[in-house]
Amino acid sequence: MTKYQEYFERMLSQNKKFFDEFKLIHDKFALDQDRCQNEYNEIGSKALLIIKDWEDRLCKQSEKAGYSTFTGGLAEKFQAEIRRNFAMIDWIGVLNKSSEKDFVLKKLL
């Protein structure tokens, strides 16, 4: 098992309850995006924080070992592993049609 896969598995195991809940909402969102968008954005923002934390841990470990030139590729592989398991991860934070009417951009004077 490669290092990024090991970190991915550790992230899931140490946050098992959260990622089990996220997987359910993720799958529900994949089936009905309009109805589940707000709930998915809410829990997804927490998931992104956890993922970012583990990506930072992985890259810091690599940089300490003297392989700082490879950390970009390592981060990409870690993100690819995330997308392989959570295909709709990039849809977190996207506004749906019902929330667009609430969005107001104030004009600067």
Q: Which of 30, 35, 31 is nearest to 91 (CA)?
A: 30
Instruction: Tell me the per-residue pLDDT of 51-61, one tens digit each, with 9 for 90 and over.
Output: 999 999 988 87
Residue 75: enclosing H or E segment and its boundaries? helix 71-85
Distance, in Å, from the CA atom of 57 to the CA atom of 39, rounded to the nearest integer, reads 28
Residue 23 pLDDT level (bands cut at 50, 70, 90): very high
Q: Where are the chain's structural domains?
A: 3-93
What percentage of the chain has pLDDT greater than the value 70? 86
pLDDT band of 30, cuts 50, 70, 90: very high
> What's the chain's average pLDDT?
87
Please check whether residue 5 is in contact with residue 82, taking contact to mean a CB–CB distance below 8 angstroms.
no
Whole-angstrom Cα distance, residue 77 to residue 84? 10
**Res 98 pLDDT > 70:** no
For 51-93, what is each residue's pLDDT tens digit? 999 999 988 877 766 767 778 888 999 999 999 999 999 999 8
Residues 6+ apart with CB under 8 A from 99: 37, 38
Confidence of residue 1 (pLDDT cuts 50, 70, 90): confident
